Amino acid sequence: MSQHTETLVIGAGPAGLTAGYLLSKNGRDVVVLERDPRQVGGISRTVSHNGFLFDIGGHRFFSKSKAVVDLWDELLPDDFIDRPRLSRIFYKGKYYAYPLKAFEALRNLGVLQSTACVLSYLYARARPIEQPKSFHDWVRNQFGERLFSIFFKTYTEKVWGMSCDAISADWAAQRIKGLDLGAAIRDALARSLGLKARPKPGEPVIKTLIESFRYPRRGPGMVWEAAAAKIAAQGGRVLLDRGVDGVSFDAATGIWTVSAIRGDGTRETYTARNLVSSAPVRELVDSITPRPLSTFQARALQYRDFLTVALIAKVREDFPDNWIYIHDPSVMVGRVQNFRSWSPEMVPDDAYTCLGLEYFCFEGDGLWTMADEGLVALAKAEIGKIGLIAPDDVVDACVVRQPKAYPVYDESYRDNVATVRLELERDFPTLHLVGRNGMHKYNNQDHAMMTAMLTVENILAGYRRHDIWRVNEDAEYTESGFSGADEALTSERLVPRKVA
């Protein structure tokens, strides 16, 4: 027996829950199906282990969009706290403030290395690579070869598991946007001299220099648990332990049939008029009947996976950073999160600390398949080598694996996504792709939410009023000035905007 709903949403992460919340708030019938058997929140969930709380990475709540910030406040009115941001880079046994402090960096690098950095920067500015294609080209043009090799190469290659020559320049342009070396040096000098580098009114805030952020006092999962509860209170349904593995569209009736499998092997079927998907594009396309022609392109999309080893240890000497980037090539760990600095409530006992050692990997590789005991042993040895805690002080540990943490921006991703998108929008006007893996966009919660917010407006309007692909990485949305699905489908604007 199938159950009918007006809109079925795949995935109870920030995008799916935003859609579910706004639809149910507008009195619409909605069902959200989530594969996870225990909790909502997707990559933005909060894990609990023996009373210690931690994120999948640390999740800052920052958005340029007032609509998104207002929605966070609506979902969780009383539990956001303001947190100072402190992060450093660990490289060859030394710590560098991030953003850089000029005099400290000069002292750590030494006069020769610092001079070489400046000369290589000047050379790169005078002789830039025309039309940079790779991450390496792009960063070398902006910062010079020497700074690229010290502050970008190792960490980026740890994160992506591939050479910086194989990573698209788009990624650098998106993630390092707004950071020009001149501004960074001015900022670094002001910090070194103890002057606060506040942007002047109207001056854009550089993305990577933001000094404080909002955070739910018990982690990001709080927001998404609250959203799920509000959906239920508004008459919608959020159902866990339902992995969607088949969707078919009947063009004659305009109805979607969705099949979901549960952990015990039982199957459920739902029918719906609208289908909103935050599932990874590759998986969604593979599950659609009739099979899309762009299945080949969807299958070419790649993902980077991620695991956290949370180490719980007695505190001897605390450190104030929220996280530390580990650029040092002698250890495999990419980043260390200090969850007590995110919020004191993440740790139930002041005598202990909880550090999250983050390893970037591919599903099925040596790290991913290593037994938990092996990973904990590796993490203890590496944290000892870095010197943040003594391995013998670790009293408990927990490993969390996160598949498809990052959609990969390789050379062909843009064309592949464009092909899939064009076909799905043409053949299935009531199918709405939202969110991070749902649109194969390497973005934060605010972007995922904004795409869902505009999708809900489209569903309420009954036509594709907004082109959600125009939501940019900072969750800003430019009104495109056109309306109607047909017009949008024939518009030039359907070709994804060049990010660089």
Ligand X SMILES: Cc1cc2nc3c(=O)[nH]c(=O)nc-3n(C[C@H](O)[C@H](O)[C@H](O)COP(=O)(O)OP(=O)(O)OC[C@H]3O[C@@H](n4cnc5c(N)ncnc54)[C@H](O)[C@@H]3O)c2cc1C
Let me know how many helices (H) and strands (E) the chain has, helices first.
Answer: 19, 19
Instruction: Convert residues 243-262 into a mask of x (bound to ligand X by CB under 6 A) and - (unbound).
Output: xx------------------
Instruction: Convert residues 96-135 into a mask of x (bound to ligand X by CB under 6 A) and - (unbound).
Output: ----------------------------------------
Q: For ligand X, which residue of 9, 12, 288, 468 counts as binding (CB under 6 A)?
A: 12
445-461 and 66-75 helices, crossing angle to 10°: 90
Site stretch for ligand X (CB under 6 A), options 52-60, 158-166, 170-178, 384-392: 52-60
Q: Cα separation of 117 and 131, whole Å?
A: 23
Residue 23 in the binding site for ligand X (CB under 6 A): no
Residue 104 CB, nearest approach to ligand X (Å): 25
Between 60 and 340, whose beta carbon lies closer to ligand X?
A: 60
Q: Cα separation of 173 and 135, whole Å?
A: 8
Nearest Cα residue to 33 out of 240, 203, 197, 220: 240
Q: Is 251 exposed, middle or buried (0-12, 13-18, 19+ CB in 10 A)?
A: exposed
Contact, 336 vs 384, CB < 8 A? no
Contact, 493 vs 467, CB < 8 A? yes
Residue 360 CB, nearest approach to ligand X (Å): 9
Residue 283 CB, nearest approach to ligand X (Å): 6
Residue 406 CB, nearest approach to ligand X (Å): 6
Three-class secondary structure of residue 144 per DSSP: coil
Residue 216 in the binding site for ligand X (CB under 6 A): no
Residue 326 CB, nearest approach to ligand X (Å): 14
Residue 140 in the binding site for ligand X (CB under 6 A): no
Site stretch for ligand X (CB under 6 A), options 37-45, 132-140, 458-466, 487-495: 37-45
Q: Cα separation of 247 and 277, whole Å?
A: 11
Q: For ligand X, which residue of 257, 278, 297, 343 counts as binding (CB under 6 A)?
A: 278
Per CB under 6 A, which of residues 391..450 are in contact with ligand X?
A: 405, 435-438, 443-446, 448
Q: Cα separation of 210 and 488, whole Å?
A: 36
Residue 15 in the binding site for ligand X (CB under 6 A): yes
Q: For ligand X, which residue of 43, 379, 389, 488 counts as binding (CB under 6 A)?
A: 43
Q: For ligand X, which residue of 7, 44, 142, 472 counts as binding (CB under 6 A)?
A: 44
Site stretch for ligand X (CB under 6 A), options 5-13, 90-98, 136-144, 172-180: 5-13
Q: For ligand X, which residue of 35, 136, 421, 440 counts as binding (CB under 6 A)?
A: 35
Q: Cα separation of 72 and 70, whole Å?
A: 5
User: How far is C-alpha 45 from the geometric centre of its chain's CA atoms?
Assistant: 12
Residue 438 CB, nearest approach to ligand X (Å): 5
Output the DSSP codes for 51-119: TEEEESS---B--S-HHHHHHHHHHSTT-EEEEE--EEEEETTEEEEESPPHHHHHHHH-HHHHHHHHH
Between 147 and 167, whose beta carbon lies closer to ligand X?
A: 167
Q: Cα separation of 72 and 431, whole Å?
A: 26
Residue 36 in the binding site for ligand X (CB under 6 A): yes
Contact, 75 vs 44, CB < 8 A? no
Residue 314 CB, nearest approach to ligand X (Å): 26
Put residue 133 in one of left, alpha, beta given phi > 0 → left and psi -120 to 50 → alpha: alpha
Residue 277 CB, nearest approach to ligand X (Å): 8
Contact, 116 vs 146, CB < 8 A? yes
Q: Cα separation of 340 and 319, whole Å?
A: 10
Q: Which residues contact 427 (CB under 8 A, 6 or more apart)?
A: 249, 292
Between 58 and 99, whose beta carbon lies closer to ligand X?
A: 58
Per CB under 6 A, which of residues 353..382 are in contact with ligand X?
A: none
Instruction: Convert residues 60-89 into a mask of x (bound to ligand X by CB under 6 A) and - (unbound).
Output: x-----------------------------
Residue 39 CB, nearest approach to ligand X (Å): 8
Residue 26 CB, nearest approach to ligand X (Å): 20
Q: Cα separation of 6 and 17, whole Å?
A: 16
Q: Which helix (H) or strand (E) holds 272?
A: strand 267-277
Residue 146 CB, nearest approach to ligand X (Å): 28
Which residue's beta carbon is nearest to the bound ligand X? Answer: 13
**How many residues lie near ligand X (CB under 6 A)?**
35
Q: Which residues bind ligand X (CB under 6 A)?
A: 10-16, 33-36, 42-44, 56-60, 243-244, 278-279, 283, 306, 405, 435-438, 443-446, 448
